[in-house]
Amino acid sequence: MNLYSLPPFFAGFLTLAVGLVALLSNRRSKPNVAFFFVTLSVFCWLIGYAIVYSMQAYAVALAWVRWLYVGVVFIPVTSFHFAVVLTHRDRLRRWLLLSYVGAVIFAGMAQSTLFIDGLHKFYWGFQPRVGPLHSLFLVFFIGMMAAVLYLLASYFHQIRRTAPLEATKVRYVFLSYCVSV
């Protein structure tokens, strides 16, 4: 493991630990369960990069990049799921299935050279060289994350006077997404 793989390695395990604490504190809480799946997706992405940064063999690194993209494509979908549950937008649940189907399709595309064309080698490790289908994924990613931010912001404005404690929680979730995006 090289020095550049340590930050994503530790961040990945810290993220998963936060998700596990939330899940184990109340397994029946739908927001806690949804949040755990967000942290699991982020964990797959970060740990995948920690491993890729440590790889010397091109073919093995490429296989890991294709695997870690499974985590990447599920980040916006699990975030959308979390936002729908947290904001009690039950009428949007029908969009969840469609968004998960989209993530599965993109996860499959990640195995194609049209999505990930290869790797660039830098001094810190390998980085993916994206293909033409990756642009379609970026539109999906940005759209889903914009929906997450919109749901959180609109819910915050709806409850800020009537439920200040809940509004504070939503504000911090919103800010954390703003920082991460």
- DSSP per residue, 17-42: HHHHHHHHH-TT-HHHHHHHHHHHHH
Nearest to 48 by CA among 138, 126, 121: 126
Taking only the tens of pLDDT, the chain with its 181 residues reads 789 999 999 999 999 999 999 999 999 999 999 999 999 999 999 999 999 999 999 999 999 999 999 999 999 999 999 999 999 998 998 899 999 999 999 999 999 999 999 999 999 999 999 999 999 999 999 999 999 999 999 999 999 999 999 999 999 999 999 998 7
Whether 43 and 19 have beta carbons less than 8 Å apart is answered as yes
- How many other CB atoms sit within 10 Å of the CB of residue 62? 19
Q: What is the reported pTM?
A: 0.93
